[in-house]
Amino acid sequence: MPIIFVSYHSDELIYASFIARLFDRRYTGKIKVFVAKRDIPSGADPSKTMLVENLLHADAVIPICSKKSALSGWVWWESASVWTRGKSVHPLFLGIDAREFGDPMKLLCQGRNYFEISELEEVLVETARNCGIAPSGEPLTADEIRELKALKESLYPPTCKVNISYKPLEETQHRHIYQLNLSVENVSTKKFESLHIQFWFPYGAIETKELSYDWLQLKQCPRPLDQYGEYVFNFDALPDGGKRQFSIDLLPGRTLNVFGHPKAIYNFRYVVDTLGFQDLEAKWEVFVDGILASRGSKKFEELNRF
């Protein structure tokens, strides 16, 4: 029976075990998937079980490439041991990209993103194929996708929570004016050192289309997305007085009101006088300390009552 050896850092057993379960469910009785700790019986010689009985005979290895495993000689050595015998290596990058993980893994083996469903499914197919087993081609189930999402959240604990709402300012039969409220709550345990927001909104509804701030810019998106305007907010570009005033709201447990609220940084107003915007959305990406911390959207029809 072909052997797939899953190589990982000892602190990241949960990520290796998930990969093993994906194979076990699809190839029971056809492929043996070995994960150290999980598959070493009580009282057995761990070196013999892991290295002689499994690694030496592995038909493929799946290294879990992470920031931790990049610093461990084991993942490199186990992967090289399989590669030098002419067998296949299928890296899965976990919270790190191939460039950051570095050579020779990046140079010799085409890797995939652990948390990208289509890429993970490709690894399941190609690894089985390289072991001489006909791939099942079965996509991840809903339960497996939920588990994958939970694993991602365990690796990337949420750092912020985005709240978006609206307040009616003026409503007539043919025209409504609203205030948009957008805030970012720090749900982490440390202060945000930087905050960058990209926000897309139906361009035709925006009341003020001319902005001349260093910290907030607006432009109409090019076709075919020209129905949207893109705002770019950069906390670091606020004037010194503004940074002093609002920096306290970057602390853990605090909320920075970016748009709309009485004490917000910017008074965001929009006008609805047509039903033409109702199929559009408000969308955002929030970057905390240079890392994407939140991405979401809200239907425009939920932001007005025209």
Mean pLDDT of 247-276: 94
Share of the chain above pLDDT 90, in %: 81
The total number of structural domains that make up the chain:
2
Indicate the residue among 100, 123, 155 that finishes a domain: 155
Query: In which element (H, E) is residue 105 found?
Result: helix 105-108
Tell me how far apart the alpha carbons of residues 95 and 154 are, in angstroms, rounded to a whole number.
11
What is the pLDDT, as a whole number, of residue 195?
Answer: 97
Mean pLDDT of 54-75: 93
What is the pLDDT, as a whole number, of residue 187?
Answer: 96
Answer yes or no: do 282 and 267 share one domain: yes
Answer yes or no: do 178 and 72 share one domain: no
| Whether pTM exceeds 0.85 | no
Answer yes or no: do 216 and 269 share one domain: yes
What is the pLDDT, as a whole number, of residue 259?
Answer: 98
- Does residue 82 surpass a pLDDT of 90? yes
Nearest-CA neighbor of 251 among 293, 296, 182, 195? Answer: 195
- Does residue 96 surpass a pLDDT of 90? no
- Does residue 154 surpass a pLDDT of 80? yes
What is the pLDDT, as a whole number, of residue 158?
Answer: 84
Indicate the residue among 105, 127, 155 that finishes a domain: 155
Indicate the residue among 155, 187, 222 that finishes a domain: 155
- Which range (133-142, 195-204, 235-244) has the least confidence? 133-142
Mean pLDDT of 127-144: 94
Range of the domain at 30: 3-155
Strands (E), the chain: 3-7, 32-35, 60-65, 88-89, 92-93, 112-113, 160-171, 176-186, 195-202, 216-220, 228-234, 255-259, 268-272, 281-288, 291-299
Task: Read off the CATH number of the domain in which 240 is found.
Answer: 2.60.40.10
